Structure formats: C-alpha cells, structure tokens
Amino acid sequence: MALAFRGLPMAQVPLWNGNSDAAWALASVLMLIASVLFAGSHRGNPAMPGPQGKDLARKAPHGVFKVTRHPMMWSFALWSAAHILASPTPRVLVLAGAIAFLALAGSFLQDRKKYLTMGAAWETWHRHTTFAPRLTALASVGLVPWLAGLALWLGASWLHLWLVGIPAGIFRWI
C-alpha cells in the first residue's frame, strides 16, 4: 500500500480544506493522544504474544488500558483520522482508511481470538476494559505513558518535515 500511495500523484484535489490551522490543531491533538496510547501499550499488555498474557489479563486495568483494551490499535486509528483530517485527498483516504479499518476490525477480531486462547482470563479483562476509548481516562494513565508519548509525538512531528516534506505538530507553527 505504501508503494501504491507513493506512486499516486501528490497533487490531488482535497475533499475539504485540511490545510486550515483548526484542522491541523485537531490533527496534532489526535496524534498526541495516539502517541500516548501507542507508547503506553507496550507496558503490561495482555494482548501481546507471550506466556504472561493470562496473568496480565487477570490484573486490574492500568495505564492506557484504563482508556481502552486496545490502545495500540486505537493509536493507529487515531493516526489515520488525523491524517485524513489534515490531508483529505483520495490517496490519503484510501491508505489511512485502510489502516483504520484494519486496526479496528483487527482489534474486534482479536477479542474473539484472545477469548478462545485465554478463556476466563480474557473474559475478566474484557469485562473490566472497554473497546471504544474513554478519553476522560487519559488523565489517569500515569506519567510514563505521557512522557513517552510526548517524546514520540515531538520526534515524529519533527521528522515529518524531513521525511514527508510537510511540517507537522507544533513544528507547523514554529
């Protein structure tokens, strides 16, 4: 998909004005939240492959898992939404839309697979967590996911200009 995306002409008519400061500000906030969810998903994730999954699923939700039981997948979906918002061209809609669909459909199917492989442990985790993000819970995820997410967001935003040629995040205005 990345090769197909790059093969399409960059000059495409946007479906709306994604170049406005409001669209970029909202996209930047979505990317910050996505970065926090992604960074926090690597710590104590019962959905990650490994023998400790059942033990982790029996524990109370912690960190970004207070927001959603699929923080990594939702980070991909939020990445997609931010990019569609700020660059609403057909090529971005196809690529980012496919990533969002894969992330959300995949996490929905992962719930079923984890229930089949982990049984009661996953059922407990499922009961104590939510599929859709509770953004109000972001305030209680802890300092480590926020610091790691902020570092990821700043680094990716800075690199965006050098890798894609478009300034992103706070670097759009600096």
pLDDT score of 63: 95
Q: pTM of the full predicted structure?
A: 0.91
| Ramachandran quadrant class, 142 (left: phi over 0; alpha: psi -120 to 50; beta: rest) | left
Alpha carbon distance 19, 55 (integer Å): 46
Alpha carbon distance 16, 14 (integer Å): 5
3-state secondary structure 7-21: HCCCCCCCCCCCCCH
| Domain spans in the chain, listed from the N-terminal domain onward | 17-172
Alpha carbon distance 151, 16 (integer Å): 31
Q: Which two tokens stand for residue 106?
A: 């995949």
Confidence of residue 51 (pLDDT cuts 50, 70, 90): confident
Helix (H) / strand (E) element for 154: namely helix 143-164
Rounded mean pLDDT, 162-174: 91
- pLDDT digits over 53-92, tens only? 778 888 889 999 999 999 999 999 999 999 999 999 888 8
